[in-house]
């Protein structure tokens, strides 16, 4: 087990190097002069010179890359052109909002997706199977930005049930400790804030969770169907075990592995999808930060944020693989 973990961790190193090279190269893909592109046409020659100097654009590529990696290892992600603040600081401020939204969306997607997938497989070809799989097809085909807008139209504009944007109503006060609002409201026993934060999370969470939910439901169903056909399930059935025990202890446990892979991969989707969702619901997270930086041509922010998200994703995949090993000890790494 330890050997496997060590090997798997070592394998992430070349990927991380590749990721850093690719994000580093991004800025050099900008057609023409990156400095001019960032400061706009009104920039004076001195300003351009200063920025080029600041970003090290005059150095040879290899020196630039060395500086880029060196700084990242020290936790220095550079400064935002728009706000002049440290990018690492701004990211840390915004990460909890995105992580809270992503985890909420994932819990939602897993709860609904796995439940629907299991029921659909156990009752194959029933009305539930048909409806849930049609729903899953709609889910994977859904433009989530449109779903988000339609939800705002229905639940905020028409029914006025849910808030259309933000993380917390302005009338609610919350003492922030971790910056995860749900957690903070529990820690401070502030139920009004918990309710408000939860209501704010609902629509963005559903919008973001829709596609993973549909994919998880489909995967769970097909994986369960495969397992349910195995001899050991028939044996369990023949020896008189309760159906519930067969499904949860024998079938789902074995059907869970492919689902786990999908869940790991969907985390990446969620981190990417957050850009769309956060921009629709004005969610003050990393996704919106990327979006606003792209619009403002704040390339250092775009570069650093994408690097950080890719690194998070590489680690999520690492954890998925290690969990995989935990669930199925037969797996060996070649």
Partner 1 sequence: MSLQPNSITNPDLSETKNAKTAKPRSLWMDSLFHLLKSKTSLIGFCIIFILIVTAIFAPLIATHSPTEQSILNQYQTPSSEHWLGTDALGRDIFSRIIYGTRISIQIGVIAVGISMIIGVLLGSVAGYFGKWADQIIMRFVDILLAFPSILLAIALVAVLGPSLRNAMIAVGIIGIPQFARIIRSAVLSVKETEYIEAARAIGAKHGRTLMQHVLPNCIAPIIVQATLSVGTAILDAAGLSFLGLGAQPPTPEWGAMLSDGRAALQNAPWVITFPGLAIFFVVIGFNLFGDGLRDALDPKLKK
Provide, rounded to whole angstroms, the least separation between the CB of residue 235 and partner 1: 26
Which pair of tokens denotes residue 248? Answer: 């949860």
Provide, rounded to whole angstroms, the least separation between the CB of residue 28 and partner 1: 9
Q: Does 146 bind partner 1 (CB under 8 A)?
A: yes
Q: Which residues on neighbouring strands pair with residue 86, listed in sequence order?
A: 79
In this structure, what are the phi and psi dihedrals at residue 210, rounded to the nearest 5 degrees? -60, -55
Cα 303 from chain centre: 17
CB 274 within 8 A of CB 286: yes
Q: Residue 308's CB: how many other CB atoms inside 10 A?
A: 20
Provide, rounded to whole angstroms, the least separation between the CB of residue 132 and partner 1: 14
In terms of CB distance, is 91 or 197 closer to partner 1? Answer: 91
Spatial CB neighbours of 64, under 8 Å, sequence gap ≥ 6? 24, 56, 57
Among 2, 10, 13, 29, binds partner 1 (CB under 8 A): 29
Q: Does 19 bind partner 1 (CB under 8 A)?
A: yes
Provide, rounded to whole angstroms, the least separation between the CB of residue 69 and partner 1: 15
Which pair of tokens denotes residue 144? Answer: 């989530």
Interface of this chain with partner 1, residues 123 to 142, rule: CB under 8 A: 137-138, 140-142
CB 255 within 8 A of CB 224: yes
Count interface residues toward partner 1 (CB under 8 A). 52
Binding letters toward partner 1, positions 207-226, x by CB under 8 A: -----------x---x----
Whose tokens are 């300003």? That residue is: 47
For the chain, how far is it from start to end, CA to CA, in angstroms? Answer: 13
The closest of 75, 214, 65 to 147, measured between CA atoms, is 214
Among 4, 8, 15, 65, binds partner 1 (CB under 8 A): 15
Provide, rounded to whole angstroms, the least separation between the CB of residue 111 and partner 1: 22
Q: 200 in helix, strand or coil? A: helix
Q: Does 149 bind partner 1 (CB under 8 A)?
A: yes
User: Any idea how long the chain is?
Assistant: 334
Provide, rounded to whole angstroms, the least separation between the CB of residue 240 and partner 1: 32
Q: How far apart are CA 64 and CA 147, in angstroms?
A: 42
Q: Does 35 bind partner 1 (CB under 8 A)?
A: no
Q: Does 87 bind partner 1 (CB under 8 A)?
A: no
Cα-based angle 81, 24, 10 (whole degrees, multiple of 5)? 130
Q: Does 152 bind partner 1 (CB under 8 A)?
A: yes
In terms of CB distance, is 51 or 182 closer to partner 1? Answer: 51
Q: Under the rule (CB under 8 A), what is the footprint of partner 1?
A: 14-15, 18-19, 21-23, 26-27, 29-31, 137-138, 140-147, 149-150, 152-153, 157, 218, 222, 268-273, 275-276, 279, 290-291, 294-295, 297, 299, 302-303, 306, 309-310, 313-314, 317
């Amino acid at each position: 087990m330890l050997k496997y973990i060590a090997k798997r961790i070592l394998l992430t190193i070349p990927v991380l190097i590749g990721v850093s090279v690719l994000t580093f190269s991004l800025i050099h893909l900008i057609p023409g002069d990156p400095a001019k592109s960032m400061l706009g046409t009104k920039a004076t020659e001195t300003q351009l010179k200063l920025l080029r100097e600041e970003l090290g654009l005059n150095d040879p590529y290899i020196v630039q890359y060395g500086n880029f990696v060196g700084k990242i290892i020290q936790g220095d992600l550079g400064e935002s052109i728009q706000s002049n603040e440290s990018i690492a600081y701004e990211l840390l401020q915004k990460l909890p909002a995105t992580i809270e939204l992503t985890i909420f969306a994932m819990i939602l997607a897993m709860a609904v997706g796995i439940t629907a997938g299991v029921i659909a497989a156990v009752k194959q070809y029933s009305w539930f199977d048909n409806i849930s799989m049609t729903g899953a097809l709609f889910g994977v085909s859904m433009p989530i930005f449109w779903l988000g807008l339609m939800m705002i139209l229905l639940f905020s504009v028409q029914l006025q049930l849910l808030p259309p944007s933000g993380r917390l109503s302005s009338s609610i006060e919350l003492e922030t400790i971790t910056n995860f609002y749900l957690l903070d409201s529990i820690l401070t026993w502030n139920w009004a804030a918990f309710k408000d934060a939860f209501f704010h999370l609902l629509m963005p969470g559903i919008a973001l969770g829709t596609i993973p939910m549909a994919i998880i439901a489909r995967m769970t169903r097909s994986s369960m169907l495969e397992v349910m056909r195995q001899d050991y399930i028939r044996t369990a059935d023949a020896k008189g075990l309760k159906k519930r025990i067969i499904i949860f202890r024998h079938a789902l446990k074995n059907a869970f592995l492919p689902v786990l892979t999908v869940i790991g991969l969907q985390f990446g989707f969620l981190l990417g999808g957050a850009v769309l969702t956060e921009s629709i619901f004005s969610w003050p997270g990393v996704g919106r930060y990327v979006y606003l930086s792209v619009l403002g041509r704040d390339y250092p922010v775009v570069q650093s944020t994408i690097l950080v998200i890719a690194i998070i994703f590489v680690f999520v995949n690492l954890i998925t693989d290690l969990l995989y090993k935990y669930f199925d000890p037969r797996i060996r790494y070649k």
